[in-house]
């Protein structure tokens, strides 16, 4: 059974009541929006689809991408990962975490800025 998504920062853990989420951010140079759809599975966190709303410096769409609804869309062929960490930058706006149709800055889900680990709830650090 999949327990949902947990956000971990230092000694703080926040359970987000979802097994599907989108991460979004703005590229620091090109100012293009990136979006990634993720799913919490028994194997870990699975990247389902990604979208990039433009191209430019380091933002070339990967092979197999298709232009649709104002973005390059693609499905990365990557295995599920047990967790991943997002680092905050003082030079860019905060990442957004979207659940359902609601997108909010990551800092409104878990207090303060700084690195945040995403992982399925119930793993060693999310207990």
Say yes or no to pLDDT of 112 above 70.
no
Six-digit token pair at 112?
């303060």
For the cut 70, the answer to whether the pLDDT of residue 21 exceeds it is yes
- Does position 26 have pLDDT exceeding 90, yes or no? no
Per DSSP, the residues of 16-27 read ES-SEEEEEEE-
CA distance 41 to 114: 26
**pLDDT tens readout for residues 60-99:** 778 888 998 888 899 988 999 999 998 877 766 788 999 9
Percent of the chain with pLDDT over 70: 83
């Amino acid at each position: 059974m999949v327990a949902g998504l947990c956000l971990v920062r230092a000694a703080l853990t926040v359970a987000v009541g979802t097994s599907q989420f989108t991460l979004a951010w703005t590229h620091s140079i090109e100012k293009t929006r990136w979006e990634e759809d993720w799913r919490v599975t028994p194997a870990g966190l699975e990247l389902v689809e990604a979208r990039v709303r433009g191209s430019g410096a380091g933002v070339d769409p990967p092979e197999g991408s298709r232009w649709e609804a104002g973005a390059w869309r693609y499905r990365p062929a990557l295995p599920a990962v047990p967790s991943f960490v997002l680092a905050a930058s003082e030079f860019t706006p905060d990442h957004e975490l979207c659940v359902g149709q609601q997108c909010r800055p990551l800092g409104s889900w878990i207090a303060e800025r700084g690195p945040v680990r995403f992982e399925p709830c119930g793993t060693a650090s999310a207990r």
